[in-house]
Amino acid sequence: MTRVQMTVDGQACDDDVEPRLLLVHYLRDVLGKTGTNVGCDTSNCGACTVHLDGDSVKSCTVLTVQADGAEVATIEGLAQPPTDGDATSGWHPLQKAFHAEHGLQCGYCTPGMIMSSMDLLGRNPSPSEEDVRHGLEGNLCRCTGYVNIVRSVLRAAAELRGETVGDADEGGIGEADVVSDPEHEEQLENLEVAP
């Protein structure tokens, strides 16, 4: 057992751990900080991404003892307390943007996506779509097809630059372009609904 001390989301932690304990398991199983997820065992998916002294790392590839003395930031520490009655008001612009742009479906990749994106925007406050796509290469999402994740990051970037952001992008699927079959509409209205 080795003694480690670190700050996690602003709280001091001090524990005896096995030298082989992965940081992600320390966070999840020892500290109970289950906001950070595990999606693989080959450091491919990025679900476990946290910040270690300000840089994003895959916490499944860091030993807890390597984080001794470090500042660890996870998704759980990202939101500030609400500034008004609105629960989302304290959210980080990335959290707001993922919500506004539907940048998550199941949400399992989301903590990692947000932590990686934060690192990306720290390095490049005005990324192009291509920059975002390449910057998030180490984070896999199986649900969204990435389109709305990219939109989310670009939206957050704009907000962080102090620009005003508008309504969420519905993409092409808002109003349908061709609404057909008045006779079907009628059929629909007259439909017998089985109880």
- 125: number of Cβ within 10 Å: 11
Among 118, 136, 156, 157, binds other proteins (CB under 8 A): 136
48 binds, among other proteins, ligand FES, none (CB under 5 to 8 A by kind): ligand FES
Three-state DSSP class for residue 57: strand
Instruction: Find the shortest distance in angstroms from Cβ 186 to ligand FES.
Output: 39
Looking at 52, 65, 140, 158, which residue binds other proteins (CB under 8 A)? Answer: 140
12 binds other proteins (CB under 8 A): no
Of 91, 108, 165, 168, which one interacts with ligand FES (CB under 6 A)? 108
Residue 125 binds which one of other proteins, ligand FES, none, with CB within 5 to 8 A depending on kind? none
From candidates 19, 29, 54, 80, binder to other proteins by CB under 8 A: 29
Token reading at 124:
């490049």
DSSP state of 35: T
Q: Could you tell me the strand order of the sheet in which 2-8 lies?
A: 11-17, 2-8, 71-73, 49-52, 55-58
Residues 118-157 that bind ligand FES (CB under 6 A): 141-144
Kindly indicate which of the ranges 36-44, 70-78, 127-135, 173-181 contains the residues binding ligand FES, using the contact rule CB under 6 A. 36-44
Residues 112-131 that bind other proteins (CB under 8 A): 114, 129
**CA pair distance 57, 53, nearest whole angstrom:** 10
SS (H, E, C) 122-147: HHCCCCCHHHHHHHCCCCCCCCCCCH
| CA 81/CA 193 separation, integer angstroms | 48
Q: Which residues contact 38 (CB under 8 A, 6 or more apart)?
A: 24, 28, 47, 48, 60
Angle of helix 93-100 versus helix 110-123 axis, rounded to 10: 120
Per-residue contact flags (x/-) with ligand FES for residues 63 to 102, judged by CB under 6 A: ----------------------------------------
Residues forming the site for ligand FES (CB under 6 A): 38-40, 43-48, 58, 60, 104-109, 141-144
